[in-house]
Amino acid sequence: MIKAYAALEPKGKLTEFEYDPGELGHQEVEIEVDYCGICHSDLSMINNEWGLSAYPLVAGHEVVGKIAKVGDHVTHLKAGQLVGLGWHADYCQACSHCNAGDHNLCLTAQGTIVGHHGGFADKVRVNAKSVVPLPSGIDSKTAGPLFCGGITVFNPLVQFDIKPTDKVAVIGIGGLGHLALQFLNAWGCEVTAFTSSESKSAEARSLGAHHTLNSRDVAEIDGAANRFDYIISTVNVKLDWNLYLSTLKPKGRLHFVGATLDPLDINVFGLIMQQRSISGSPVGSPGNIAKMLEFAAQHNIKPMVEMFKFSQVNEALAHLESGKARYRIVLEK
């Protein structure tokens, strides 16, 4: 039996829950969970904000632990190996996206916490192809958030050919944004942080921002017209997107990784006349997760985390929901 913490209804408190995973699949591995980050997506799934949730729901998709069991068709992983697991627990491995290495775009990919029990548990079972070994130089205690938050902000750098000479801005300095600043600085970009909190300006600079702009000061944003090659939005709230578009250079890109649920109110002439683009992306493929981990190890990029015991999962979720987390939360045994 696998022992876990599950929500039994939308917005419900997590309670102790056990389930029988059955026989280990030929292509599966069982991970003994040492640490599991808590992402805002876990909270959204627990609360059924996206209409995808099925209960009992075991959240947790930023898993780090050691492999306890290996399916008899798995050859690239072994028992005792330290690994991580992110948003996806399996892929079809036959579609054009999987064949091209874009597993994260697989239309039938299995979510780790969507119709599948995740990492708020002592163990989790997934397809071996979704698991990525931790390289040396990565701290296992803080690595979990890299498997969702980290890859979410790293993947666009690869997908959209962000150059070291680019001027890049980050909207929102939180769980995603504080990692984006670190990655972009190490990438070589000139980095600006948009933040609504004056108290975060100094911290943003310490994380890699060369400049900061007050996102509540329209005049200050107006003064940044035509400045940026690329803007990455990590927030989940509605903003004046036309104002931010005006800060892009011709051919600039506004890219979304924060899951704002409000429709985008865009003046299309702001796109057409300057040939600007709007885009979005999910997490990355296992191959890009491995690249991200190597890059993070080389440049000493680490999530800032607050630690809670697994038994404190409800307190940890309440802390996240309060908006006071700085900046990621990790559960430990």
* pLDDT, tens digit, 9 for 90 and up, residues 248-270: 999 999 999 999 889 999 999 99
Within the chain, what is the greatest distance between any pair of CA atoms? 62
What distance in Å separates the CA atoms of residue 231 and residue 157, rounded to the nearest whole number?
11
Q: The whole model's pTM is what? A: 0.96
Residue 196 pLDDT > 90, yes or no? no
Cis peptide before 35 (omega within 30 of 0): no
Quickly state the pLDDT bin for 242 (edges 50, 70, 90): very high
How far out from the chain centre does Cα 67 lie? Answer: 22
**Range 89-115 average pLDDT:** 97
Residue found by looking up tokens 């979990």 in the block: 144
CA dist list (Å): 17 to 2, 57, 69, 310, 327: 8, 10, 21, 13, 28
Residue 275 pLDDT > 90, yes or no? yes
Quickly state the pLDDT bin for 197 (edges 50, 70, 90): confident
How much is the pLDDT for 156? Answer: 97
**Range 264-292 average pLDDT:** 97
**Range 56-71 average pLDDT:** 98
**Range 63-92 average pLDDT:** 98
How much is the pLDDT for 200? Answer: 85
Residue found by looking up tokens 């329209």 in the block: 218
**Range 9-15 average pLDDT:** 97
Average pLDDT, the chain: 97
Quickly state the pLDDT bin for 116 (edges 50, 70, 90): very high
How much is the pLDDT for 234? Answer: 97
What is the amino acid identity at position 8? L
Burial class (CB in 10 A: 0-12, 13-18, 19+), 198: exposed
**Range 285-291 average pLDDT:** 98
Contact yes or no for 176/234 (Cβ under 8 A): yes
Quickly state the pLDDT bin for 137 (edges 50, 70, 90): very high
**Range 48-68 average pLDDT:** 97
Burial class (CB in 10 A: 0-12, 13-18, 19+), 161: exposed
Contact yes or no for 140/64 (Cβ under 8 A): yes
How much is the pLDDT for 209? Answer: 98
Nearest-CA neighbor of 37 among 1, 87, 103? 87
**Range 8-16 average pLDDT:** 98
What distance in Å separates the CA atoms of residue 40 and residue 237, rounded to the nearest whole number?
13
What distance in Å separates the CA atoms of residue 287 and residue 102, rounded to the nearest whole number?
9
Nearest-CA neighbor of 118 among 281, 4, 284, 201? 4
**Range 139-148 average pLDDT:** 98
Question: What is the 8-class DSSP label of residue 121?
Answer: B
Cis peptide before 56 (omega within 30 of 0): yes
What distance in Å separates the CA atoms of residue 127 and residue 312, rounded to the nearest whole number?
28
Residue 301 pLDDT > 90, yes or no? yes
Strand ranges, E, within the chain: 2-7, 14-19, 28-38, 62-70, 82-85, 88-90, 110-111, 123-127, 131-133, 167-171, 190-195, 211-214, 228-233, 248-256, 277-280, 305-309, 328-332
What is the amino acid identity at position 200? K
Contact yes or no for 256/195 (Cβ under 8 A): no
Residue 198 pLDDT > 90, yes or no? no
Residue 272 pLDDT > 90, yes or no? yes
Q: What percent of the chain has pLDDT over 70?
A: 100
